[in-house]
Structure 1
Amino acid sequence: MTCFAFLFGKKVSSDIRRDPEIDEGLSGIRIKVYTYKELKNASDNFSPANKIGEGGFGSVYKGVLKGGKLAAIKVLSTESKQGVKEFLTEINVISEIQHENLVILYGCCVEGDHRILVYNYLENNSLAQTLLAGGHSNIYFDWQTRCKICIGVARGLAFLHEEVQPHIVHRDIKASNILLDKDLTPKISDFGLAKLIPSYMTHVSTRVAGTIGYLAPEYAIRGQLTRKADIYSFGVLLIEIVSGRSNTNIRLPIADQYILETTWELYERNKLVQLVDISLNGGFDPEEACKILKIALLCTQDTPKLRPTMSSVVKMLTREIDINESKITKPGLISDVMDLKVRGAKKNKDMESTSSYNASSGSDSQGTTTTVSLAASSSTATTSTFIIKHDKSM
């Protein structure tokens, strides 16, 4: 019997292969351990009819646990080489914290090759599959609901950034990671890429990971991670919620493909209100809509230190403090610092002078892989190459 099994009082059959890395990573963590059989029964043998989501590390199924409790069962792919690390990170980060705007981890399964996370079931899926689904959802997001979602996500991030010790940087704030319960209350999910930053550290240097369109330029270029990278991603998300559009749409003319660039252009022309989702049919407060878009611009400024803290963002969204519009400067736009060239995956070649990382893109609903070369500006001597795995939930 392993130390992990002893900790939870579970007897492990000798024919079940254990992963020492997982056993060591989970030692000391108080979390419920489900058997594979329990979760298989709960999801009706992981029936395709119960599949409610799919991401870079596996699939998510709706299930009914013993006692009738609904759950979201996240099955990590056995083919993913990154699965163990992200699996352990997600459990370590989320198992010890609770907040109204974070998902709840019920437990996990670690039998043989099976790595499964069990979360509370959220009835209305994600913002990507509802608000940004291009009319494929039957949920109507009125203006009050959108404001509630903006504030809820901001409060969840403020909790992670400022109230938890060590501070938590999510690293992948995006529409597909914002889930909605039956009342459309937002819950931040998917902590597989999260990083812990002690209060005495200004940043951590790490492999660049995240989603194209939400990545803060300074993090994408230098790999220096701070809470400001999450704040940049949140600013992009705010624009998506107000506009009802994904941040990147490669099907549009080049000038309109990146919504952050469009937002800045409209701000300079004092026409931000034109960005508001037309599906609202005028049922919104123009002043409030422009205020939220200005907060988004504050969050996405090119200089990280100029971006506000998440607690300040919450206060601006709830009208506790005013927005100082004079502090708004040009956002960090990828087109300003890089030459973005999209090529077919077949042309991808490993170069000794390049570095690589994986990221998922919210710009396309297809499951294809695309190679992107980013030639840095004159202040940077190297070129970064990475593979985009398109986010199928967008």
Structure 2
Amino acid sequence: MGVETRVIGTFGYLAPEYAQSGQITEKADVYSFGVVLVELVTGRKAVDINRPKGQQFLTEWARHLLEDNAVDELIDPCLGDRYSENEVRCMLHAANLCIRRDPHSRPRMSHVLRLLEGDMVVDSVSVSAPSSDSASRSWRKANDQQHYQDYSSPARQDSQRVVGRKQQSYDALRAAWDRDKKSISNRY
């Protein structure tokens, strides 16, 4: 009796490499998280066959807009002006890194978290190499230092001033979501 290798997951959230090979990795989870980030900002479902061709798959529709930094085209109109532009840009930047087709060029979740918390700036090039041996860990550490730059003190001070506004932005996004989720659910 053989081992079953069918792919299990929700279509639209599956990383391309997982859908093709059935092998799950941390980077496949990163991809799925990126899809969720795009959903949060756009108010769209991962897959919507009722949309026009080219817009049915959220990542395919959003990918070129993310690369072009077309924030206004990506933001859910239901949000109106009740969001922090800086935080939405941060979320979209993280999403853009997470939904890259090449799993090796996606960041690790710890880096995505730090990016979303405003603790680091992420370079747009490859961020880590897959492996667990000590040589690879050393390479990853050096690579992280090269590609991830912690904010220096002046930027850190600015960041700390924003912390109070972060909670306000989150509360505003949450209130908008709670207020509009019935209409969003009804649209789909």
The Cα shift of 1:280 comes to 1.3
Partner Cα separation in structure 2 for residue 286 and residue 259 of structure 1:
21
Aligned to 1:281: 80
Residue type of the alignment partner of 2:63: W
In 1: Cα distance, 2:21 partner to 2:69 partner: 33
How far apart, CA to CA, are the structure 2 residues paired with 1:274 and 1:327?
Answer: 26
Give yes or no for contact 1:249–1:258 (8 Å, CA) kept in 2: yes
Tell whether the 8 Å contact from 1:273 to 1:286 is kept in structure 2 after alignment: no
Give the secondary-structure state (helix, strand or coil) at the position aligned to 1:225.
coil
Which protein is richer in helix relative to its size?
2
Residue 326 of structure 1 and its aligned partner are, at CA, apart by: 4.7
Partner of 1:309: 108
Paired position in structure 1 for 2:90: 291
Q: How do residues 56-135 of structure 1 correspond to structure 2 at under 5 angstroms?
A: none
* TM-score after normalising by structure 2: 0.61
Q: 1:230 to 1:243 in 2, by over 3 A?
A: same
1:231 aligns with 2:30: yes
Q: Corresponding residue for 1:259?
A: 58
CA distance in 2, matches of 1:291, 1:243: 14
For these two proteins, the number of residue pairs brought into alignment is 125
Structure 1 regions of 5+ residues with no counterpart?
A: 1-204, 329-393
Q: CA deviation at 1:242?
A: 1.1
Task: Point out where structure 2 has 5 or more consecutive residues left out of the alignment.
Answer: 128-187
Query: In structure 2, what is the Cα distance between the partners aligned to 1:217 and 1:270?
Result: 23
Partner SS for 1:255: coil
TM-score, scaled to structure 1: 0.30
RMSD over aligned Cα atoms: 2.0
Deviation per CA, 1:128-149, whole angstroms, max 9, x where unpaired?
xxxxxxxxxxxxxxxxxxxxxx
Correspondence list, 1:175-190, <5 A: none
- Equivalence for 1:320: 119
Q: Which has the higher contact order (CA 8 A, sep 6+)?
A: 2
Equivalent position SS for 2:100: coil
- Aligned mates of 1:267, 1:327 — CA distance in 2: 17
Task: Give the drift of 1:268.
Answer: 3.5
Q: Give the deviation of 1:245 after TM superposition.
A: 1.2
Corresponding residue number in structure 2 for 1:246: 45
Whichever of the two has the greater Rg, that structure is 1
SS of equivalent residue, structure 2 residue 51: coil
